[in-house]
Chain A
């Protein structure tokens, strides 16, 4: 059972490139090798792990995707069951940056489509991704580009494209925002007349109940000359994106986001102009890969996962799990939802009490992360969730974990064996001495030492489950 360094490193990789892995999964990956596992994760073909059709068969609410939470629970279900968890993690990464919310759209399907777009294009070139997000119908409505017209711009999208999606404040002027907005006039959604008619009958759904789609309207596009970031031309949206991608500020901005999401918590974005990165050398190295690879997200991440700054023990557990990471990670262990269900919908809702409601970001800025996830209120929700989930023997995964622990117990048995086995089974978790000694002491009040093999069978799943509740409540389970 001894955890060698290879296993601990693999557990670190799987917490970051996915939602964690069980002991059995880790063993197989260690066998495969670290670099091979990174390549395997990075190069896996995008796939639909669970078809929307199958999800709809079991849970019509998750299939219609119109509601405010059903699309989130559909996504959570895929995070739990996908063999390619990395694909969902990437989508979650981009959802945090291109944060688009239901509150304004009143249409879950376009958000669902946007998340699928992240899975499909989120590992390609950043230039392509910026074009895709600029054409994304949910984004167009979310930041009002459909309300931006030749001669009457709405600068919402132009502003956030520069401030939040690529370069960060301080790297462009108010004039650049206006010019970018002009270049994106005509990038709109189709079928609005029909939708307007629909909305007259049904004002709750201002854009209709159908999923709206992108349309380029050349008549509404401002084709005059623009000057953007010092360059002049009759720019269209694609030209603006190209100029943005060539900026050093963009390379830094994306690299810092990547570092914060995959390596170690950085301060939230508004503090970036005022605070140096934790590891400037790492940001510089990622920026170099960005330019060398032609803005290729996949190559940046391949480099990141294989780098010493990622593998270093110094960054293990140096992230606070986001609520969705916490919940998806726990549910992958407990395996309690073997099919889409009403209960899974309510579980997804709990991530909102922890401060992260999927597809309901607090604003276009997305969520503040790191220790900002934690306040006494959200911590109550987080601890209660992980404690009750890991201690619930009705879940197939927990029952299995409890049985694995019992099977591994041998005489002479001391209660601390249960703790070490539990930490190992839950994904080779590392805990502080203080946490371990408290868990051991708690186990000692639940178990007696056993010298005789024949008495080992007296230990029940329920005994183990009681201990798992406290393991789930420990501070380390909140970290990744």
Chain B
């Protein structure tokens, strides 16, 4: 299989997903004692290995696990955890933890994959606004709020008139001397938008599937990702967000809804991929900026460290990676789970083993890799 058929779908779980109530150490007495208000019991969780169980809303994920298509990376994080949403998300987005980096790891990946900007759709974001992980100076990335209505100056119905107007649009936004930083940004995005919009419109029109997705934002986004994927327009990086996982309060109810929507959406997405013979071409990464405190606060959980990530797909080696952090007090970091594997190891693995891109220039260092990819 040529590399350029392989794509990565990143789903960001915004707000700090509670790892302990996602992959639940339900037999651990410390879990039992510290989660008086929001404990998930042995009867509730979906058992995986006799000591860890998935959140009860993750039935579809469990089905994929049983097929050997889910890698669960426990204890994922980075040294000196930061418990600010924005800073920690920034660290995950930029893959730089000790200073502020100007661009995102996926933006840099797209630059490596397509150094001459031959395809403005190498990376496509689905949702409102571009996350920093996809941001990289002069790297074009499309951001699609709604695939159905995507295009420029679409209220000019006559195609010929519209193309004529767009030729002037292209000259107003095209390269020109004496531009300031704002005009540079407007110009670059304007031209890329024009090219990308035409291609994406075709992808939307040509999609057909027997899978009926649910009607909620994450399902809509994954369906749109499938549409673009099946159109074979060379997109390698897809991005979507789901949230908010910032469950300081009312966690039992909120977390249930979040995982239920996501799990069902992922189940439908993989059914769709399978129906189109594409399930081995796609790897999905789920990550969140941090985990949460071990002890609940009576209604939810506060910001913590040490999290869980998921890597899924037909080419993924299913199983547990990283280690389940001990909840014993000496092993905790200020009341949080201690991380035991750097998130950049997972990034490096996906870059090297899946996307066939040298991780070093993107991550700026060498990271030990997991054996995540194998069943090609």
Contacts and interface: CB of A to CB of B under 8 A. Distances in A.
A363 B90 CA distance: 13
Interface string A115-156: 000000000000000000000000001011011010010111
Nearest to B248: A144
B120 A376 contact: yes
Interface string B5-35: 0000000001100000000000000000000
A271 interface: yes
- The main secondary structure of chain A at its interface with chain B is helix
A363 B172 contact: no
Nearest to A391: B155
Given A270-B87, A438-B168, A380 B185 contact: no
Interface string A338-374: 0000000000000011010100001111000011001
A380 B141 CA distance: 13
Contacts of B135: 375
A387 B143 CA distance: 20
A163 B197 CA distance: 39
A438 B100 CA distance: 40
Given A363-B14, A375-B141, A377-B142, A147 B300 contact: yes
A434 interface: yes
A274 interface: yes
A317 B299 CA distance: 47
A251 interface: no
B220 to A, nearest CB: 13
Contacts, number: 165
B170 to A, nearest CB: 9
Contacts of A432: 176, 178, 183
Contact of A384 (B85, B128, B153): B153
Nearest to B90: A270
A206 interface: yes
B374 interface: no
Given A104-B244, A152-B298, A377-B125, A438 B155 contact: no
A40 B185 CA distance: 36
B141 to A, nearest CB: 7
Nearest to A153: B297
Contacts of A33: none
B231 interface: no
Nearest to B299: A147
Interface in B341-369: none
Interface string B149-177: 01111111000000011001101110010
B249 A144 contact: yes
A164 to B, nearest CB: 8
B242 to A, nearest CB: 12
Contact of A434 (B140, B141, B176): B176
Interface residues of A, number: 63
A244 B144 CA distance: 42
A143 B120 CA distance: 40
Given A380-B197, A469-B165, A147 B153 contact: no
A190 interface: no
A442 interface: yes
Contacts of A364: 85
Interface in A163-206: 163, 169, 203, 206
Contacts of B299: 147
Interface of A: 103-104, 141, 143-144, 146-147, 149, 152, 154-156, 159, 163, 169, 203, 206, 265, 270-271, 274, 317-318, 320, 352-353, 355, 357, 362-365, 370-371, 374-381, 383-384, 387-388, 391-392, 432, 434-435, 438-439, 441-442, 445, 469-470, 473-475, 478-479
Given A442-B168, A475-B172, 19 more contacts: A159-B84, A163-B84, A169-B84, A274-B100, A363-B15, A371-B182, A374-B186, A375-B129, A375-B130, A376-B189, A377-B144, A379-B190, A383-B153, A383-B190, A384-B154, A432-B176, A473-B172, A475-B187, A479-B186
25 contacts: A103-B243, A104-B246, A144-B249, A147-B248, A147-B297, A149-B298, A156-B302, A156-B303, A265-B182, A271-B100, A353-B128, A357-B128, A371-B181, A371-B185, A376-B192, A377-B125, A377-B142, A377-B193, A379-B186, A379-B193, A380-B193, A384-B152, A388-B155, A434-B176, A473-B165
